Structures are given as structure tokens and as C-alpha cells.
Homo-oligomer: A and B are copies of this chain.
Amino acid sequence: MGRLFDEELKRLKERLLHMSGIVEKMIDLAIHALIKRNKRLAQEVFKYEDEINMLHIDVDELCIKLIALRQPTAKDLRFITGAMKINSELERIGDQSVNISENTEIYLSYPEVKPLIDTPRMAEIAKQMVRDSLEAFVKKDAELARSVLKRDDEVDGLRDQIFRELLTYVVSDPTTTRQALCLVLISRNIERIADHATNICEDVIYMVLGKDIRHHIERKK
């Protein structure tokens, strides 16, 4: 079965990379909608949701089929079950991008509070974490996975900074509370995207280095 199976594993990797490309695009669109104050862009995100949901189901089916038909060795089996977990994380990243768009639509129905600097920066880091986590998976690169875990602290730092800054706005002008709430929710959506990327990286490290390592790695707070 060697070569055929290798082809199938390759196809599995390609599908996950394709999914990752789509969710990265969804993050970009959602954040552009927010900073350009463009509702049309926010709605474009929703169009990709069905595509991600279909791919999610397809990849899960493909994995089950590969396990059932090919009866892979423990190593390949661990790769395929890892792919199933990563598949779920990608689908949830898509969900969070949809949530950003929904919160953006509400945000845009109020006057602007402040120019947004930290939010797009936070989103850019989270998106890069998603991309690198997939690269770490495909290349079975535990070092890259570890480096992604470290960036999660930066994301959490920006989230706290955004929160504190918004509090100062609300304290000085309570009429901005609704907009502030939207921006807090959006920063939380971005934070979760970063969390999903760290989940992927923990799975990659486990897959590559085996069972001893997963709970000795840098823990997320």
C-alpha cells in the first residue's frame, strides 16, 4: 500500500493547508472590514463559512476512511488522528472570524471611538500563528511549533492593553460603552484564534516528540 497511502497522506496535508488559507483570508477580511469601516467586507466573511464547514466534514471523513481501510502503523495513525484534531481547530478559527465580522457589523452601527492600532496588530500575529502552526504540522517541526506557543503571550499582552485603553475611554465618556464592548469582544475572538493555533502546536509537538513532552511545554494562561 506504500505509495498510494503516501499519496493519500499528502492529499490530507494539502486539504488542511487549503483550509488554513481560507481561514487566514477570513481573518483578513474581518479585520479589514473593521478598520476600513466597510460592512460589505464583513459580509464576505460569511460566504466562506459554508466552504469551511464542508471541508471540515470532508477531512474528517477522509481520516476515518484512511484509518479504516489502510490500518496504518502507530506513527501514521498518530498523524491522522492529529489531523482530525487540527481539522476541528481550523473550523473553530473560521467560526471566530465569523464572530469578528458579526461584532464588527454591530460596532459599525455606532460612531468611531478611536483609530484602531492594537487590534489589527493582534489579528496579524494570530493569523501568522495559524499559518505557522500548519507549517509546523506539515513539516513535523516541533521547534517551529514551540516558537508559536511563545507568541501567545504577546497576544495576551495586546488583549490586556486594548482592554485597559478602552476602560479609560469609557471612564472619561460613558456614551462609548457599546463600542468599547464590541472591541473587547473582538479582541477576545482574536485571542481565541491564537489559542486554537497553540492547540494545534501542542498536538504537533506531541505527534513529533511523543507522550512525555506535551505537559512539559510552555503552558498557556
Write the residues of chain A forming the contact surface with B, with a CB cutoff of 8 angstroms: 50, 53-54, 56-57, 60-61, 63-64, 67-68, 71, 73-74, 77-78, 81, 84-85, 88, 92, 95, 99, 102, 160, 163-164, 167, 170-171, 174, 177, 180-181, 184, 188, 199, 206, 211, 214-215, 219-221
Contact = CB atoms under 8 A, between A and B. Distances in A.
A81 B78 contact: no
Tell me whether chain A's interface is mostly helix, strand or loop, or mixed.
helix
Total copies of this chain within the assembly:
2
A167 B163 contact: no
Contacts of A215: 50, 53-54, 56-57
A219 B53 CA distance: 12
A206 B73 CA distance: 26
A95 B218 CA distance: 13
Given A81-B81, A211-B61, A99 B177 contact: no
Contacts of A180: 167
Contacts of A78: 64
A68 B61 contact: no
A47 to B, nearest CB: 15
Which 10 A-B pairs have CB atoms at the shortest separation, nearest pair first?
A53-B215, A57-B211, A68-B74, A171-B174, A171-B171, A71-B71, A81-B84, A68-B77, A99-B221, A64-B77
Nearest to A61: B211
Nearest to A211: B57
A106 to B, nearest CB: 11
